[in-house]
Amino acid sequence: MHHMKTTLIRYTIVTVFLFLFGLSSGCVTNSTNSAENKGSAGKEWKTVFDGKALGAWTVTDYAGRGEVSFDENGSLVLGMGIELTGVHLPGGGDYPTVDYEIGLQAKRAQGGDFFCGLTFPYSDSNATLILGGWGGALVGISSIDDFDASENETGDVYVFEENRWYDVRLRVTKAKLEAWIDAKKIIDCEVDNRKISMRAGEVELAAPLGLCSYATTGVIRNMRIGELNPVKP
């Protein structure tokens, strides 16, 4: 009962904050743009996991982490821990750090907080796309100008159903950070000449490329990365 009250209070605070905060600083959230979400701007997707082993990725050494495994369908399962559970790719591999997209499918199998924290590179820095944080319904990017997803203009409320798969796509360019859930564009933020960084704390261990969940079982499948085609003059 105490946990339910705490979750409700956190959800209400985030909802009121985001309503009052509104849209600013060149960011647009919750706009539907299905045409832009069709197909990929990447010239070729590279599959990240083979559904059997982590490969070059490693389990992130979070205190109180849950179990990390692949299920019978080849999906990556980030088991519920006390706080963070996740995996990351040390060094970031040979993936691009700007002008790329990441696509994946994710679902919350159990718990009430974020089921997908996608840490990604942005040039020489990193940030994290959060799905279902701060009590279960917040989406946004941590951090922009030292404000995390609950404080900056990318933050918004999105109601996630348990055990439902969501198509997620993140596009990273020098000028913008953009994200979609299914056919809905949830983030369209101009970031050139702004400070992009990670939220301080254990989540920083996910850099430069990682996945994590918070006190929640998150399931990830079909993760892929594609480099964007260069824009011709």
Closest CA to 78 of 92, 57, 93: 57
Name the residue ranges covered by the structural domains of the chain: 2-228
How buried is residue 173: exposed, middle or buried, by Cβ count under 10 Å (0-12/13-18/19+)? middle
Its pTM stands at: 0.84
Closest CA to 127 of 158, 105, 93, 102: 102
> How many whole angstroms separate alpha carbon 144 and alpha carbon 141?
7
> How many whole angstroms separate alpha carbon 191 and alpha carbon 177?
7
Pick the CATH number of 2-228 from 2.60.40.420, 3.30.830.10, 2.40.50.100, 2.60.120.560: 2.60.120.560
Per-residue confidence of the chain (233 residues) as pLDDT tens digits?
Answer: 333 334 434 444 444 444 444 434 456 544 444 334 344 444 589 999 999 999 999 999 999 999 999 999 999 999 999 999 999 999 999 999 999 999 999 999 999 999 999 999 999 999 999 999 998 999 999 999 999 999 999 999 999 999 999 999 999 999 999 999 998 999 999 999 999 999 999 999 999 999 999 999 999 999 999 999 755 54
